[in-house]
Amino acid sequence: MRHFIDELKQSTACEIRLNEPLAEYTTWKIGGPADVLITPASKEELADVIRLIHKHKVPWTNLGRGSNLLVSDKGIRGAVLRLGDGMNYVRFDQDLVEAGASYSFIKLSVMAGKEGLTGLEFAGGIPGSVGGAVYMNAGALGSDVSRIFKSAEIVLETGELVRYGLEDMEFTYRHSVLHQLKGIVVNATFQLARGEKAQISEAMSANKKRRLLTQPLQMACAGSVFRNPPGDYAARLIEASGLKGLRCGGAEVSTMHANFIVNTGQATAEDVLSLMANIQRKVKEDSGIDLIPEVLAVGER
């Protein structure tokens, strides 16, 4: 690890932080330290870093905007990557939009609406980055990334920069090829359509109002914790099992939305994992359905 860090410092201009606590980089405000947190400013810097990681056989994790991750209390061994400002941009070209991977997915939906482009309204309540949304095939309100996706540039684990189209991504529900083929999205292009600005704005305002009334967005959380099973909703199943308000340590099943777990102030990753296990066990007992996590648990256990 020391040789990797020494070469990293000599060969790149990336921001590098050793033993950096990760709680403030996640929306759950939970997580121990990274051995080394690296922030590449551009896709070229990212490719250089990945090549060094590959050369030194260092384990690595992509943090993104930390919105769909539960970072272990013991932290993450190896390198943790967080994309920098050079990948935080948006460009419009008629009905196409290209966004850097670190750009906010919510902000992208707002900017598209201001351009009179429809197709991204579903993204207005999805926290996290464009890169994370592509990785997870994020979705809501009956739509998802796969419906508008055109292409993405990806740095593979060898450091090779490639462009993938829709078929290459193998999108399914909350899943993409990147779950098997390790790589990092650096930008994505979406195919939208012209619409009426007033109608788009009205739809987004209605969606936002509904979210504020039904989701605990004022508290530290990570969005939906479990995937919706076929033909049903995780939140309905959890609520039907009487689990709203259930606590483990500082983690609580939200009283507003049963598929959200909130950090009431001092929650640990172990609190969240214990609560998730209790939810899965009770829902299985009551309905026979296995709830599958949508959030990703990472780090040393």
115 is catalytic: no
- CATH of residue 6: 3.30.43.10
Q: What are phi and psi of 193, to 5 degrees?
A: -140, 155
Answer whether residue 63 is part of any domain: yes
Active site residue 176: no
Q: Which one of 176, 224, 241, 254 is the catalytic residue? A: 224
205 in a structural domain: no
2 counts as catalytic:
no
**Does 77 have pLDDT greater than 90?**
yes
Q: What is the CATH number of the domain that holds 181?
A: 3.30.465.10
Any domain includes 265 = yes
Residue 212 forms part of a structural domain: no
Same structural domain, 118 and 61: no
182 three-state secondary structure = coil
The domain that holds 271 is classified in CATH as 3.90.78.10
**201 vs 71, more confident:** 71
pLDDT at 124: 85
Name which of 263, 205, 244, 229 is nearest 73 in CA terms: 263
Q: What is the pLDDT of residue 125?
A: 82
Q: What is the mean pLDDT of residues 290-301?
A: 95
Specify the pairing of strand 251-253 against strand 261-263: antiparallel
Res. 209 pLDDT band, cuts 50 70 90:
confident
pTM (predicted TM-score)? 0.91
Residue 217 pLDDT greater than 90, yes or no: no
Question: How many domains does one find in the chain?
Answer: 3
Mean pLDDT of 238-258: 98
Q: How far apart are CA 275 and CA 243, in angstroms?
A: 10
Residue 170 within any structural domain of the chain: yes
Q: Is residue 208 part of a domain?
A: no
Q: Final residue of a domain: which of 167, 199, 231?
A: 199
Of 20, 45, 153, 294, the active-site residue reads: 294
210 inside domain: no
Say which residues have a Cβ less than 8 Å from residue 188's Cβ, sequence separation at least 6: 98, 99, 101, 130, 131, 134, 149, 150, 151, 152, 153
Q: What pLDDT, on a 0 to 100 scale, did the predictor assign at position 51?
A: 95
Quick one: 72 and 155 in the same domain?
A: no
- Which of 54, 70, 85 is where one domain is finished? 85
Structural domain span for residue 239? 218-298
Is residue 141 predicted with pLDDT exceeding 90?
Answer: no
Say if 209 falls within a structural domain.
no
- Last residue of some domain: 137, 169, 199? 199
Q: Of the listed 174, 241, 252, 254, which one is catalytic?
A: 174
